[in-house]
Amino acid sequence: MSDPVENGHSAESVPTPGRPPDPARMGPVFKKFCEVVARLRSPDGCPWDRVQTLETIKPYTLEETYELLEAIDAGDDGAIVEELGDLLLQVVLDAQIGADEGRFDLVEVVERITEKMIHRHPHVFGTAVANTVDDVAQHWHAAKNQEKTRDSTLDGIPAALPQLARAVKLAKKAARVGYDFPDRAMLFDKLREEVAELAAELFVGGAIPQVAAKVEAEIIPDLAIDDPARHARVEDELGDILFVIANIARRWKINPEEALRRSNAKFERRFRYIEEQLASQNRTLADATLIEMEELYQQGKRLEAASKGRQST
């Protein structure tokens, strides 16, 4: 955590919970930022910024969001500040594009979200009462239902969401109207059922071969599924398993995207450790056997565990 004094603020100026930014500082800073973005879009501005549309800017918005998540995962305040700024740029630039095209402007964006936050928090800005997180969720969804007309309970979930996250949202909406397993442990019975259905498509007789997960074995190359119909069936069954996994995460209040991101980061750290150790021996991955790579992977895993143990003491 960075020191507030190092960031140019005295200890007395550190914000307290619920206190908005000082308008004397924020006003001029935000005004200058909006002017910079507008200048970039002006006839004498930047050729790249001038030609952007809401469609062309979409990939950058997604990229900046993921970079912010990485900075938060790293706990690096300097990086978080930088990535929040990059994400804010996407919002302001989108709004400037909208204004330049005569569609909407940043003022409308800010007014709309302000009204939404007030309307969806009647327990803060109105007379409603919310003593628990579940109470808050009920108020939020009741307000949301008043604002929007839906043809289906499942409407309103962005199709572009990562599919694990979308699975959770779909199941949450269904659960809100009572369509859910009464006991979350039942999901593991459902998982076994779906794994059996996948096995029936992958293995003769549906029996999963009892092959121990070890590297001291003959390497058997993977073969693609040539039959398009069978390929589609396997894809469907694997999708069903992932949907159940997403629901297990939901019922235990775990974010599956976050869980997978952590596992990806963990694998990447340990695999990089393999590369680093081999490089220290003037070797590459091509020079190492699978057994050697696995030994280094497990070594990196043990070092991580030991480091965590030291940090917790």
* Burial (CB count <10 Å: 0-12, 13-18, 19+), residue 244: buried
Question: Could you tell me if 91 and 107 are in contact, meaning their C-beta atoms sit under 8 angstroms apart?
Answer: no
| 195 CA to centre of own chain | 26
- The token duo for 83 is 């990535």
pTM greater than the 0.75 cutoff: no
Report, as ranges of residue numbers, the positions in the chain whose pLDDT lies below 50: 1-8, 10-11
Find the Cα–Cα–Cα–Cα dihedral 270, 274, 275, 278, rounded to 10°.
160
Find the Cα–Cα–Cα–Cα dihedral 91, 92, 93, 94, rounded to 10°.
50
Among the residues of 42-177, which ranges form H helices? 47-51, 58-74, 77-100, 106-119, 122-125, 133-147, 163-176
**Amino acid (one-letter) located at 282:** N
Give the C-alpha separation, 96 to 88, whole Å.
12
State residue 227 phi and psi, 5-degree precision: -75, 115
- The token duo for 251 is 């019922």
pLDDT at 82: 96
Domain 163-208+224-254 in this protein, CATH class: mainly alpha
Q: Is there a shared CATH topology between the 11-104 domain and the 163-208+224-254 domain? A: yes
Give the C-alpha separation, 275 to 43, whole Å.
50
10 Å Cβ neighbour count for 70? 14
Question: Could you tell me if 139 and 121 are in contact, meaning their C-beta atoms sit under 8 angstroms apart?
Answer: yes
**Per DSSP, which regions of the chain are E strands?**
none
pLDDT at 311: 64
Domain boundaries along the sequence of the chain: 11-104, 163-208+224-254, 258-308
* Best CA proximity match to 58, nearest among 169, 160, 204, 201: 160
- The token duo for 24 is 């004397």
Question: Could you tell me if 175 and 184 are in contact, meaning their C-beta atoms sit under 8 angstroms apart?
Answer: no
Question: Could you tell me if 249 and 255 are in contact, meaning their C-beta atoms sit under 8 angstroms apart?
Answer: yes
* Best CA proximity match to 297, nearest among 264, 262, 268, 271: 271
Name, in order, each residue with C-beta under 8 angstroms of 260's C-beta and a sequence gap of 6 or more: 164
Name, in order, each residue with C-beta under 8 angstroms of 202's C-beta and a sequence gap of 6 or more: 234
- In whole angstroms, how far apart are CA 98 and each of 41, 45, 124, 144, 255? 11, 17, 32, 25, 33
What CATH number belongs to 11-104? 1.10.287.1080
pLDDT at 273: 97
Name, in order, each residue with C-beta under 8 angstroms of 63's C-beta and a sequence gap of 6 or more: none
